[in-house]
Amino acid sequence: MDSLQADASRLHIGPRKQFFFDDLIVESVQNLARRVHSPQKVEQAPLIQRDRPWEQVTYFTFGSWQVMRDPADGIFKCWYEDWQMYPDRFPDDAFPFAHPEHAPSRYLFARSSDGIHWEKPELDIYREQGKETNIVLGDDFGSIHCGYVFYDPLEENDEYRFKILFISRPSSSTGLHYRYAASPDGIHWKPWAALSILRPLRKSSMTTSRRLRRRNGVKRLRI
């Protein structure tokens, strides 16, 4: 307890959720035992993989996908980047990876009731060759890269429950911008009118990324 008294900020819990890995913030325990279970690896891996004709490169890397459980319906929802690469059009050493006309990317959607068995719903939002797809963020947003989707529990307007911050590469330009969009369900997106386009992305993104600030446990944009 001496360490807690020396650092009173640890005792300020407020509305934030807490993990009880130990008794650091527990005042007393009686007739209870802590049992930690080991996770079991699911053998049917990968859980989400490229299996649709409109998918090119399902780009599951550190900053190009997001999974969360919607508190409204309890459904696990996943957004992932699909990179439309056509390397056969260029020599191996001349493929323009960063050019949105030759390597555009968009965001696709999957959902699951248990987090293990995933469904890619065919939605009437973007069509390819006349077929419905699970593309939810496409060409009208530019080429989308490294989207960060988050649920905003402090949002009063249900139309903006879900938000996404992403790097946009307009097809008419090789410049990069941060853009911002909102959605009521994580499927139907529209540019957020209050902050749809941010200043151009510099070579070093550290300055721009500082516009993100955490408030009450939620990452928010500082305007």
Tens digit of pLDDT for each residue in 37-53?
888 888 877 899 899 99
| Close Cβ partners of 10 (under 8 Å, ≥ 6 residues apart) | 4, 24, 25
Residues 111-120, mean pLDDT to the nearest whole number? 94
What pLDDT shows up at residue 94? Answer: 58
Instruction: Determine the pLDDT at residue 210.
Output: 33
Token pair belonging to 26: 């527990």
Q: Which long-range contacts (CB under 8 A, 24 or more apart) does 180-186 make?
A: 180/221, 181/137, 181/141, 183/159, 184/158, 184/159, 184/160, 185/161, 186/70, 186/77, 186/79, 186/109, 186/136, 186/149, 186/162
**Residues 132-161, mean pLDDT to the nearest whole number:** 89
Residue 203: pLDDT over 50: no
pLDDT tens-digit profile of 131-145? 999 999 987 787 888
Domain ranges of the chain: 53-221
Query: Comparing 78-82, 160-164, 168-172, which segment has the lowest mean pLDDT?
Result: 168-172
